[in-house]
Copies of this chain bind each other. A is one copy, B any other.
Amino acid sequence: VPAAAPRPLLRIAIPVFEGLTALDAIGPYEVLSRLPGASVTFLAAGGSQPGRAIRTENGMLGIIADAALDALPAPDVIVVPGGFGIRALLEDDVLVGWLRAAHATSRWTTSVCTGSLLLGAAGLLDGIEATTHWLELETLAGFGAVPVSRRVVRVGKLVTAAGVSAGIDMALSLAALIADERTARAITLGIEYDPEPPFEGGSVATASPELVEFVRARRSSLA
């Protein structure tokens, strides 16, 4: 009797760095880690050390970077989160080089929020539609991308999500593409994702212009 074929491992890499926005990374992690065979690894980027913690942009949360970038040179799925700290990494040769090489063999290369700026800095978005946090769409254009105000933008194997919370939607749509729709629906129910936002206006299209300016002026504490 032949043994059952081992389930192929789905290797998911999430680089983390000082000044990360936690939900950018944790939203997709919570979804993608539930995929059959998934193995999520948080990688140390930007001078952080494997086995040590990075702190989020407000300093209030420490997340362990478990492995060095070069421990996972060819993941199946790449998720690049954003946060203020990403700005300091857009010319980080080690991280940009890792991303460029990993993208060459990845099945999916994705980002949440300002993580797409790193994809742009790596030259992956030239002339390609992509999105980011609404405050940074112009910055994204500066990297050659065609910025789009949508929650999730997919072009081939490149998938970019809008600000912070959009990574959950992105990951669920990706789950259906990686596995199947039934699995994505099961994860949706498993994390009880039937959102009831207490307030509308979570996007520039639906918020009042006055609120948009209010948040723009206080971006360091609110966005």
Contact = CB atoms under 8 A, between A and B. Distances in A.
Contacts of A203: 189, 192, 194
Interface string A14-41: 0000000111001101100110100111
A184 B197 contact: no
A77 to B, nearest CB: 13
For chain A, the bracket of interface size reads 35 or more
Given A166-B192, A169-B197, A222 B61 contact: no
B188 A192 contact: no
A181 B192 CA distance: 25
A186 to B, nearest CB: 5
A58 interface: yes
So how many copies of this chain end up in the complex? Answer: 2
B172 A185 contact: no
B34 A60 contact: no
A196 to B, nearest CB: 5
Contact of A201 (B39, B176, B188): B188
B29 A190 contact: no
Contact of A169 (B39, B61, B196, B201): B196
A42 interface: yes
Interface in A29-67: 29-30, 33-34, 36, 39-42, 53, 58, 60-64, 66
A162 interface: yes
Nearest to A181: B199
Interface in A155-190: 162-166, 168-169, 172-173, 176, 181-182, 184-190
Given A63-B62, A189-B212, A218-B186, A197 B194 contact: yes
B62 A186 contact: no
Nearest to A192: B163
B34 A61 contact: no
A221 to B, nearest CB: 6
A89 to B, nearest CB: 21
Contact of A30 (B22, B36, B188, B204): B22
Interface in A66-91: 66
